[in-house]
Amino acid sequence: MIRAFSMALLFVAGLVSVNLGLAQAQAPAPKADLANIVYLETKAGRITIQLRPDLAPKHVERIKELTKRKFYDGVVFHRVIEGFMAQTGDPTGTGMGGSDLPNLPPEFTPTPFKRGVLGMARAQAPNSANSQFFIMFGETPSLNNQYTVFGEVIDGMAAVDKIKRGDPTNNGKVFQPDSIISMRMASDAK
């Protein structure tokens, strides 16, 4: 009798669990905030980026401003290291250039640098971020609280994975690098 009662309770609990799962699966997805979505087009496809003003409002504003200027169109991925990251955002393609805007102070957070996270590149000085950024291929805890996280890839990691890799003996410098075809705010995209 007790065993039959326990089995009945498990059956009912299972039905409730299944029904709750169905209710959650049928709930509408939250509407995307197009003001903080970027479409980065590469020859391998679109990379959709969710900007994170909650983590780095100044860096997000910089990325938005440069994107609206079409600053990133045609800019190469000049430094790409297998298992680590793909870096872009330098109009000279050397890793030494930036925009005409002033450098930014850091906005470090404990947000981990893991696959798909976007971080702002900088020189040795923490307040030297300008226009260059990188997309993580894998987790790199040594960057946590040392570089500013400003976004994450929410779709298109397959395209990120196809970015041409650089020479590992030359700090990831890429010979005949892939480039950003275009970079647009979703709110401005047609």
136: domain CATH number? 2.40.100.10
Residues 171 and 150 in one domain: yes
> In this structure, are strands 117-120 and 133-136 parallel, antiparallel, or unpaired?
antiparallel
Tokens representing 68? Answer: 């609206």
Can you give the pTM of this predicted structure?
0.83
pLDDT tier at 33 (50, 70, 90 boundaries)?
A: confident
Tens of pLDDT, residues 75-103: 999 999 999 999 999 999 999 999 999 99
Q: How far apart are CA 122 and CA 142, in angstroms?
A: 15
Determine the pLDDT at residue 189: 75
Tell me the average pLDDT of the chain. Answer: 88
Give tens-digit pLDDT for 99-134: 999 999 999 999 999 999 999 999 999 999 999 999
pLDDT at 20 over 60: no
User: Into how many domains does the chain fold?
Assistant: 2
Residue 50 domain-assigned (yes or no): yes
Q: Check whether residue 103 and residue 164 sit in a common domain.
A: yes
d(CA 9, CA 2): 11
Whether residue 5 is found in the same domain as residue 40: no
Domain that holds residue 21: 1-30
> Is 190 within a domain?
no
Provide the token pair at 20: 């709750």
The residues with which 79 forms a beta bridge, in sequence order, are: 87, 173
Closest CA to 156 of 135, 139, 175, 140: 135
Once rounded to an integer, what is the mean pLDDT over residues 52-77? 98
Task: Give bridge partners of residue 167 from the DSSP assignment.
Answer: 173
